[in-house]
């Protein structure tokens, strides 16, 4: 892993590449090279980039950090913690680096950037793109999951909890099924997540996921039942 500073731009790099740090985060560069292969819209746009034929060796997802809640009406993307190590992109990068090294199926972090401003900073992160994957809300609108698959999801959450990771936004959108090969499940979006001691918080984290599924039954008519939840819990406690 390399740490680089160019003026008021600060980078963490997890991959050797001939591209400069600035090029990695410059969407206009990727557009000029005709390497933008898709996008996803949330608070902002996540850009999907073709890089599997470059020395990086995999396609990428480029995400800028945007604020949520009421404060976003006045401040779209500026954060105010002055310590680089506590910045949104650097903390998520380090979290993913540790989890990827531990074998948890999460996107591999490629690079993170912090741009320091006179007041506060802006941040971006570059991750491995999970190919041929859908989040559970999209998938469960079209089909059901088998009992072994629900148990596999439960086992995945247990694996994360055994690493003492509290996913602050554990919901059905942040679990992906890669519908190719082994049909592997992935966990994504570790912004604002923490390593916590003890076990008291784990039941609340599971309850958050349960509420997410129930919410999407009403909102998106996903195929989910209490039997499915019990199957998930069986995998978690196995």
**HEC-encoded secondary structure of 61-128:** EEEECCCCCHHHHCCCCCECCCCHHHCHHHHHHHHHHHHHHCCCCCCCEEEEEEEECCCCEEEEEEEE
Q: What is the pLDDT of residues 75-127, one digit of tens each?
A: 788 888 768 888 999 999 999 999 999 999 999 999 999 999 988 999 999 99
Distance CA 148, CA 219 (A): 26
Place of tokens 């309850």: 207
Nearest partner of 62 among 11, 87, 25, 88, judged by Cα: 25
CA distance 207 to 157: 12
Q: Which of 52, 135, 169, 191 is labelled catalytic?
A: 169
In this predicted model, what pLDDT tens digit does every residue of 164-214 receive, in sequence order?
A: 999 999 999 999 999 876 679 999 999 989 999 999 999 999 999 999 999
Q: What is the pLDDT of residue 71?
A: 65
- Residues 77 and 117: their CA atoms lie apart, in Å, by 12
Q: Which of 193, 30, 36, 3 is nearest to 111 (CA)?
A: 3
DSSP class of 172: G
What's the CA gap between 97 and 13, in Å, rounded?
Answer: 11
Report the mean per-residue pLDDT for the chain.
Answer: 93
Q: How confident is the model at residue 69 (pLDDT cuts 50, 70, 90)?
A: low
Of 6-15, 36-45, 73-82, 216-225, the range with the lowest mean pLDDT is 73-82
Give the span between the Cα atoms of 60 and 24, in whole angstroms. Answer: 10
Q: CA 189, CA 191: separation in Å to the nearest integer?
A: 6
User: Could you tell me the two tokens for 138?
Assistant: 């999209």
For residue 169, indicate whether it is catalytic.
Answer: yes
Rounded to two decimals, the pTM is 0.92
Structure tokens at 105: 């199926």
140: region left, alpha or beta (phi > 0 left; psi from -120 to 50 alpha): alpha
What is the rounded distance in angstroms from the CA atom of residue 134 to the CA atom of residue 82? 36
Q: How far apart are CA 231 and CA 217, in angstroms?
A: 17
Q: Which helix (H) or strand (E) segment is 212 a member of?
A: helix 202-220
């Amino acid at each position: 892993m390399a740490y680089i500073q160019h003026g008021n731009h600060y980078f963490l790099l997890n991959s050797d590449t001939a591209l400069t740090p600035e090029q990695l985060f410059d969407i206009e560069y990727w557009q000029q090279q005709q390497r933008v292969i898709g996008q996803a819209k949330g608070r902002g746009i996540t850009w999907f980039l073709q890089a599997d034929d470059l020395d990086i060796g995999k396609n990428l997802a480029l995400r800028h950090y945007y604020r949520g809640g009421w404060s976003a009406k006045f401040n779209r993307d500026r954060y105010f913690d002055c310590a680089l190590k506590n910045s949104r992109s650097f903390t998520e990068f380090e979290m993913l680096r540790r989890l990827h090294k531990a074998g948890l199926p999460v996107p591999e972090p490629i690079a993170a950037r912090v741009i320091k401003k006179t007041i506060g900073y802006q941040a971006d992160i570059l991750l491995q793109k999970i190919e041929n994957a859908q989040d559970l809300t999209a998938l469960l609108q079209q089909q059901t999951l088998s009992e072994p698959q629900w148990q596999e999801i439960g086992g995945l959450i247990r694996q994360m909890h055994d690493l003492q990771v509290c996913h602050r936004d554990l919901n059905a959108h942040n679990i992906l099924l890669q519908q190719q090969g082994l049909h592997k499940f992935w966990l994504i979006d570790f912004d604002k997540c923490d390593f916590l001691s003890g076990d008291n918080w784990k039941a609340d984290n599971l309850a958050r996921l349960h509420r997410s599924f129930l919410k999407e039954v009403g909102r998106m008519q996903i195929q989910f039942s209490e039997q499915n939840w019990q199957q998930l819990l069986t995998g978690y406690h196995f």
